[in-house]
A and B are shown apart, each in its own frame.
Chain A
């Protein structure tokens, strides 16, 4: 049996990322509200925040 493909979508506000089954039925409600695809977490650039020096 073929594994279900998933993808990562970011919310229109950029404040949430969720993993979604990559089917038209699952994606349509999100994409039509402005969610868009982003790379999987392992492929995203890691942002290191500078630590405040005391």
Chain B
């Protein structure tokens, strides 16, 4: 037996060559995770209860069906390394420049032009408890993809003021023991809300000037709505069918934020007048670590008056419009980590 805090996890910061080829150790980093659960493997058996001809209604035999792998959350405080990873593997079109620090410019890939069609980059996930001769857990899950992420920023002290959680899926393919010796845990360069250097939504600067004290919180999320990947030839593991691809469906980009109401607040007017504008969120800890998300064209679908901890607030739901020139969203991350998603 082992306490779950002995669980160590690592995953590919580099992408796999293809969905069935695991990352090698040199392309895997090790990180801590606020999600304390291991990634469960769920092989599913089926039986013959529905078949007639047995003389009764009861099942008589088990059949191997498939690996029904649950989604798994990697939840971390926002850092330049983790945000670069999350954005690159979820959006897909990545440009890497620099010689340290490294700059990643990332936008959502287009199915029509993406070299891998509707498929995003894949990575491997390693989880271990006392790896070695008598390991309690030592496996590498092969062919993982990012289903989506949530990024939250709020008025609070400390690391929890800027957080990112990433929802991952995997095929069911794995190798155990993993054969991977995980490196020492990466020390990420974390951000907190105090490091925000730009915070503008639809023409209103919530960081400085007249609206500088309005901002309360922001939650944005991305969902690739990945389609199930079972198909003829998708592969097997231990005799159970596994998934052989993850293709994105209708991707969803949601942004909600809460601001305090003040005299002359323009949020209602922006909704009623259908005003659109860009939104920029920038976190920067130093010259080597920053994150900037530019939503190219945002309008508002809902502006709702409410109460947050006793203060009158507006909860605003954005509509992220695809701009004809600049697309939907552009993320720029500067980080000391090279080769993310390469």
CA distance A33 to B94 in the complex (A): 13
Cβ contact of B96, chosen from A28, A31, A37, cutoff 8 A: A37
Residues of A within 8 Å of B94, CB to CB, are 37
Cβ contact of A5, chosen from B103, B114, B294, cutoff 8 A: B103
B-contacting residues, A15-33, CB 8 Å: 22-24, 27-29, 31-33
Contacts A22-B105, A32-B328 hold; do A27 and B112 have CB atoms under 8 A apart? no
Residues of B within 8 Å of A37, CB to CB, are 94-96
Cβ contact of B95, chosen from A12, A27, A29, A32, cutoff 8 A: A27
How big is chain B's contact interface, by range? 20 to 34
Chain A interface residue count, Cβ-Cβ cutoff 8 angstroms:
18
Contacts A29-B325, A32-B326, A34-B112 hold; do A7 and B95 have CB atoms under 8 A apart? yes
CA distance A35 to B113 in the complex (A): 8
**Interface assignment of B330: CB less than 8 Å from any CB of chain A:** yes
- In the assembled complex, the CB of A36 is this many whole angstroms from the nearest CB of chain B, namely 6
Write the B103-115 contact mask toward A (1 if CB under 8 angstroms, else 0). 1010110101111
CA distance A28 to B329 in the complex (A): 8
**Interface assignment of B296: CB less than 8 Å from any CB of chain A:** yes
- In the assembled complex, the CB of A7 is this many whole angstroms from the nearest CB of chain B, namely 5
- In the complex, the answer to whether B326 meets A29 with C-beta atoms within 8 Å is yes
**Interface assignment of B170: CB less than 8 Å from any CB of chain A:** no
Secondary structure of the A contact surface, majority rule? mixed
- In the assembled complex, the CB of A17 is this many whole angstroms from the nearest CB of chain B, namely 13
Residues of B within 8 Å of A35, CB to CB, are 113
- In the complex, the answer to whether B114 meets A34 with C-beta atoms within 8 Å is yes
Residues of B within 8 Å of A23, CB to CB, are 105
Write the B72-110 contact mask toward A (1 if CB under 8 angstroms, else 0). 000000000000000000000111111000010101101
- In the complex, the answer to whether A32 meets B327 with C-beta atoms within 8 Å is yes
A-contacting residues, B243-272, CB 8 Å: none
**Interface assignment of B128: CB less than 8 Å from any CB of chain A:** no
Residues of B within 8 Å of A6, CB to CB, are 97
**Cβ-closest chain B residue relative to A5:** B97
Contacts A5-B103, A27-B330, A31-B105 hold; do A12 and B296 have CB atoms under 8 A apart? no
- In the assembled complex, the CB of B113 is this many whole angstroms from the nearest CB of chain A, namely 3
CA distance A40 to B110 in the complex (A): 23
| Residue among A5, A28, A32 facing the most chain B CB atoms (10 A cut-off) | A32
Contacts A7-B97, A22-B97 hold; do A28 and B107 have CB atoms under 8 A apart? yes
CA distance A37 to B106 in the complex (A): 11
Residues of B within 8 Å of A32, CB to CB, are 107-108, 110, 323, 325-328, 330
CA distance A9 to B113 in the complex (A): 13
- In the complex, the answer to whether A28 meets B103 with C-beta atoms within 8 Å is no
CA distance A17 to B114 in the complex (A): 16
Residues of B within 8 Å of A34, CB to CB, are 93, 110, 112-114
Interface residues of A (CB under 8 A from B): 5-7, 9, 12, 22-24, 27-29, 31-37
Q: Which 8 A-B pairs have the closest CB atoms?
A: A32-B327, A34-B113, A12-B113, A22-B97, A28-B326, A31-B107, A5-B97, A28-B330
Can you add 14 more A-B contacts, CB < 8 Å, to A22-B103, A28-B294, A31-B107?
A12-B112, A12-B113, A22-B97, A24-B330, A24-B332, A32-B107, A32-B108, A32-B110, A32-B327, A32-B330, A33-B110, A34-B114, A36-B95, A37-B95
